[in-house]
């Protein structure tokens, strides 16, 4: 496992105390922009950190989301997916193979409404679903 210094930097930037587990989870997300689930992250890290538990991974992900260091994607009703790309962007999910792609989108398009009545909107999620190139061919 290659630890990138920016994993620690990202944690510090969002006021999260960098523990070994937190660095490992953050690092995994910075190296894998595949929108992994908590289970995928756990299974990949477990071989390097045998003391790691699934609960720790879940709690770490929750903490990272709460502080804004990563984004939680709920496009998939069965599995929450995680993303270290915290810039505004939309997501596409293939209905056949469940792969998840980023769709670049202007922030102004994603945040069309910033205030409505007494509500102040701070985030917006845009999800598209369909069939990826691979599945479309079959």
Q: Kindly state the smallest distance separating residue 87's Cβ from Zn ion, in Å.
A: 9
User: Residue 83, interface with Zn ion (CB under 5 A)?
Assistant: yes
Closest CA to 100 of 110, 90, 108, 109: 90
Q: Could you tell me where the beta strands, DSSP code E, fall in the chain?
A: 71-73, 81-83, 90-94, 100-103, 115-116, 119-120, 127-130
Q: Kindly state the smallest distance separating residue 26's Cβ from Zn ion, in Å.
A: 16
Q: Contact letters (x/-) for Zn ion, 115-134, by CB under 5 A?
A: -----------------x--
Residue 100: how many other CB atoms lie within 10 Å: 20
User: Residue 110, interface with Zn ion (CB under 5 A)?
Assistant: no
Q: Kindly state the smallest distance separating residue 117's Cβ from Zn ion, in Å.
A: 30
Instruction: Name which position in 6, 19, 43, 96 contacts Zn ion (CB under 5 A).
Output: 96
| Of residues 41 and 83, the one with the C-beta less far from Zn ion | 83
Beta bridge partners of 130: 94
């Amino acid at each position: 496992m290659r630890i990138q210094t920016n994993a620690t930097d990202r944690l510090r930037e969002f006021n999260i105390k960098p523990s070994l587990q937190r660095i490992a989870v953050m690092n995994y997300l910075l190296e894998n922009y595949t929108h992994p689930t908590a289970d995928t992250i756990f299974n990949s890290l477990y071989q390097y950190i045998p003391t790691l538990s699934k609960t720790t991974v879940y709690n770490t992900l929750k903490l990272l989301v709460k502080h804004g260091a990563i984004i939680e994607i709920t496009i998939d009703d069965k599995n929450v997916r995680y993303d270290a790309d915290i810039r505004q962007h939309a997501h596409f999910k293939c209905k056949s193979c469940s792969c998840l792609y980023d769709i670049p989108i202007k922030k102004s398009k994603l945040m069309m409404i910033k205030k409505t009545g007494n509500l102040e909107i701070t985030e917006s999620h845009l999800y598209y679903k369909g069939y990826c190139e691979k599945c479309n061919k079959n």
